Amino acid sequence: MLTPLERVVFLALAAGCLAYAAVGFRQVFAAIRRGHGGFPTDRWPQRVARTALQVLAHQTLWRTRRPVAIFHAFILFAFTYYFLVNVADLVEGFTGFSTAHRGGLWGIYNLVADVLSVLALVGMTYFLVRRFVFRPRSFRFNPQVMLLPGVEAGIRRDSLVVGGFILFHVGSRWLGQAFKLAAEGPDPWQPLASAVSTLFVGMPEPALEVGVHATWWVALGLILLFLPYFPRSKHIHLFFAPVNLALGLPQPPGRLEADGKGAARLEELPWRRILDAYACIMCNRCQDVCPAHQTGRSLSPAALEINKRYYLNRHLREFSRGAPSPPLWEYAISVDAVWACTTCSACVHICPVGNAPMLDIVEIRRRLLEEGEVPDPNLQDVLVKLGKYGNSFGKPERQRGQWTKGLPFRVKDARRETVDVLWFVGDYASFDPRVQEVTRTVARLLHQAGVDFGILYEGERNSGNDAGRVGEAGLFEVLAEHNIRLLDQATYRVILTTDPHSLNALRNEYQALGRRYPVVHYTEFLLQLLEEGRLKVVQPVGRKVTYHDPCYLARYNRVTEAPRRLLQRVGAELVEMPRNRENTFCCGAGGGRIWMREEPGQERPSESRIREAATLGVDTFVVACPKDYTMYTDAVKTAGYEGRMVVCDVAELVAQAVGVRAEVLAQV
């Protein structure tokens, strides 16, 4: 169909664009390779299969913004299909072979192309209207969020270019079909294009011919011209998102790398974190679920990835050749923001392209700490206490088991005696006076059920989970080594804990030191006791409650149903929080934040969560984590809900239901 001149010009254009694009892509690969870390060589067939399924089923997009996911599906399917279409059009241009007016497989091919073309146009129009007319709040960053100059304008420009590209590429190609059908007659297998072709039917033949050629050139020419633009555009996610998803994240997502080197600059990060910048689609989903950003603080995981990307865009040549880059806290994320992170991993969980901004933050923290840059004296004080006394309260180890003194029975010493269940109590459950009452209630429940359990008394140390997340890998090791020494000497079947942070450390983080412990959360264990009849419900709770999923339990460790079944068993009527299960909203204590001074912001994350609960018409807020207990008890007061909302631990409800005395029975 193309004239010889056209063919020559096209080939020349193709050669030029491909060469130019190759340079850009090569630089991108070189840039990513500057980061450290190995390349996984295992299970690639499974990875590819899993990712293909993920992408086609839009699994990662479905977690939030569902209407967007639908329209994106239109575009994604259209674009994937258009790979075939572009090839076919290229062939048609050079050989004249046309797929139109044929039945059978070609007919189906054309029908799908026709429908998808229109869907793509609809989808892309939706996205442009959404961004430029509706202007959702998600696209705005908090005022103190660090942004490279020109980023916001850059994102708008990029969106327009990509949007324009898709509209013109698909639109032009589809119009081209309409022109062709206007000359050749309608094709039953291309109903939509045929319908439009009726508009052109009256036009003279040469005009239609021009139309066909022009649209061909626009469609395929735009592809060529767009190729070198990819390295600068978020549209490169076409390549890097599936790759990122196929490479996967450590399990569970958010688990820290054992290597405690830390990173100040982009090139010091693992190469996976540089790849993240290229997979990022700048959708800001991560920012929407970030407890720091949502309460007005300077942290935006989205801004972090976007800044990295824009830095790379602007310095790609030097960077790909090994030039050093400035410290990340000078352009990508402010030091305040680095420390505002609660390590709740909501950003990691929600990201559709498999990014992990939280891991960048921990790497930066490691480096800041290594250089002695501790953000606030409270934190430094706590780290010193952890090192000296093995707990964040600065209490001597001897006092660790003193919470047991209020009990009418002796709790076995798992250091000396064999036990069935070794209860790893944790700092807050051991030392915080309010939580101690819950701890005693749990002990009474276990005793009532005849469970053979014991604790490590003075031998137990803080699990090290949060020390690691603050960036003190050395302190994590010291604490973990100590706990491991004791656990290795003890005889038990399973470890029980009420603290999701400790659970996460024992089950996941201790693998870095060669141990993987069988740990169960007390909600799972209490449920089991009820199901086995070792505890019996004598008086159902009969109360409407809502339940807050702890981050480290629901997101990191996927335990969401056991607490719910437990609540159901004891006769509580559960009204779900809008953000529940893996979408739970952090209380703000994690990542060492409970040890740091308050950062100025609109409100605390815990207050925001209480307000969320208040909209449900319930007066009982159920928690299953010691830090949640303290955070939300405070938040009820400071948010002004005292007397209207009461915070209650799951154990207290269970105790009430089975007729065991609870230390404190939450009364409104």
Partner 1 sequence: MDVVVCCKLVPDLVEELEVNEAGTDLDWAAVRWVLNEFDDHALEEALLLKESTGARVTVLVPEADGAEEVLYTALAKGADRAVRLTGLPPGAGSRALAVAFSRVLPSVGYDLILTGVQAVDDVDGQVGGLLAGMLGLPYVGVVTGVQVDWQVHKAVVRKEYAGGVVEELEVDLPAVLGIQSAQKPPRYAPVSKVRQLMREGKAEALPAELPAVPRAAVRRVFRPQTDRRAQILEGPAEQAAAQLVAILEERGLLRR
Partner 2 sequence: MAEVMVFAERQGDSLAEVTYELLAAGRQLSQALGCELSALLVGPGAGALAGGLGTADVVVCAEDPQLAHFTPDGTLQVLEAAVQQRSPRLVLLPSTSQGLDLAAPLSARTGLPLVAYCRELWAEDGVVVAHSQVYGGKLVVEVAVPERGIVCLLPGSVSAEAGRAPGTPRVEVLSVPGVSARARFRQRFEPEAGDVDITREDILVAVGRGIGDRENLSLVEELAEALGGAVCASRPLVDNGWLPKNRQVGKSGLVVKPKLYLAVGISGAPEHLEGMKDSELIVAVNTDARAPIFDVAHYGVVADLFDFLPALTEAVRQRKG
Q: Which residues bind partner 1 (CB under 8 A)?
A: 260, 369-370, 372, 374, 377, 380, 383-384, 387-389, 394-396, 398, 472-475, 477-478
Binding partner of residue 637 among partner 2, partner 1, none, CB cut-off 5 to 8 Å per kind: partner 2
> Regarding beta strands 543-547 and 572-574, do their DSSP bridges make them parallel or antiparallel, or are they unpaired?
parallel
Smallest distance, partner 1 to C-beta of residue 164, A:
51
Smallest distance, partner 2 to C-beta of residue 598, A:
5
Binding partner of residue 603 among partner 2, partner 1, none, CB cut-off 5 to 8 Å per kind: none
For residue 87, the tally of other CB atoms under 10 A from its CB is: 10
Which of 246/374 has CB closer to partner 2? 374
Contact 106, 161 (CB under 8 A): no
Token output for 194? 């045929």
Smallest distance, partner 1 to C-beta of residue 327, A:
18
Which of 324/396 has CB closer to partner 1? 396
CA distance readout (Å), 639 to 288, 522, 548:
22, 29, 17
CA distance readout (Å), 174 to 114, 210, 513:
7, 15, 59
Name, in order, each residue with C-beta under 8 angstroms of 594's C-beta and a sequence gap of 6 or more.
588, 627, 630, 631
Write down the residue that tokens 């990875």 correspond to: 47
Binding partner of residue 658 among partner 1, partner 2, none, CB cut-off 5 to 8 Å per kind: none
Name, in order, each residue with C-beta under 8 angstroms of 142's C-beta and a sequence gap of 6 or more.
293, 296, 297, 298, 300
Smallest distance, partner 2 to C-beta of residue 232, A:
44
Name, in order, each residue with C-beta under 8 angstroms of 164's C-beta and a sequence gap of 6 or more.
none
Token output for 234? 């978020």
Smallest distance, partner 1 to C-beta of residue 396, A:
5
Contact 248, 354 (CB under 8 A): yes
Which of 260/352 has CB closer to partner 1? 260
- CA-CA distance, 365 to 273, in Å (whole number)? 15
Which of 517/595 has CB closer to partner 2? 595
Calculated CA dihedral for residues 623, 627, 630, 633, nearest 10 degrees: -30
Contact residue for partner 2 among 102, 516, 598, 661 (CB under 8 A): 598
Contact 254, 556 (CB under 8 A): yes
C-alpha torsion sign, points 360, 143, 284, 171: negative
Binding partner of residue 598 among partner 1, partner 2, none, CB cut-off 5 to 8 Å per kind: partner 2
Which of 471/601 has CB closer to partner 2? 601
Which of 259/598 has CB closer to partner 2? 598
Smallest distance, partner 1 to C-beta of residue 598, A:
19
Name, in order, each residue with C-beta under 8 angstroms of 172's C-beta and a sequence gap of 6 or more.
215, 218, 219, 222
Binding partner of residue 374 among partner 2, partner 1, none, CB cut-off 5 to 8 Å per kind: partner 1
Smallest distance, partner 2 to C-beta of residue 600, A:
8
Smallest distance, partner 1 to C-beta of residue 51, A:
36
Contact residue for partner 2 among 33, 493, 597, 644 (CB under 8 A): 597
Contact 616, 575 (CB under 8 A): yes
Binding mask 543-582 for partner 2 (x = CB under 8 A): ----------------------------------------
Which of 366/543 has CB closer to partner 1? 366
Which of 158/432 has CB closer to partner 2? 432
- CA-CA distance, 128 to 562, in Å (whole number)? 43
CA distance readout (Å), 400 to 31, 424, 487, 489, 654:
50, 11, 17, 19, 25
Binding mask 343-362 for partner 2 (x = CB under 8 A): --------------------
Amino acid code (one letter) for 84? L
Does 637 engage in binding with partner 2 (CB under 8 A)? yes
Smallest distance, partner 1 to C-beta of residue 472, A:
6
Binding partner of residue 500 among partner 2, partner 1, none, CB cut-off 5 to 8 Å per kind: none
Binding residues among 365-404 for partner 2 as defined by CB under 8 A: 377
Which of 202/372 has CB closer to partner 1? 372
Calculated CA dihedral for residues 395, 397, 400, 402, nearest 10 degrees: -90
Which of 147/478 has CB closer to partner 1? 478
Q: Which residues on neighbouring strands pair with residue 642, listed in sequence order?
A: 645
User: Three-state SS for 450?
Assistant: coil
Binding partner of residue 493 among partner 2, partner 1, none, CB cut-off 5 to 8 Å per kind: none
Does 321 engage in binding with partner 2 (CB under 8 A)? no
- CA-CA distance, 454 to 410, in Å (whole number)? 9
Which of 360/427 has CB closer to partner 2? 427
Q: Enumerate binding residues for partner 2 (CB under 8 A).
A: 377, 597-598, 637
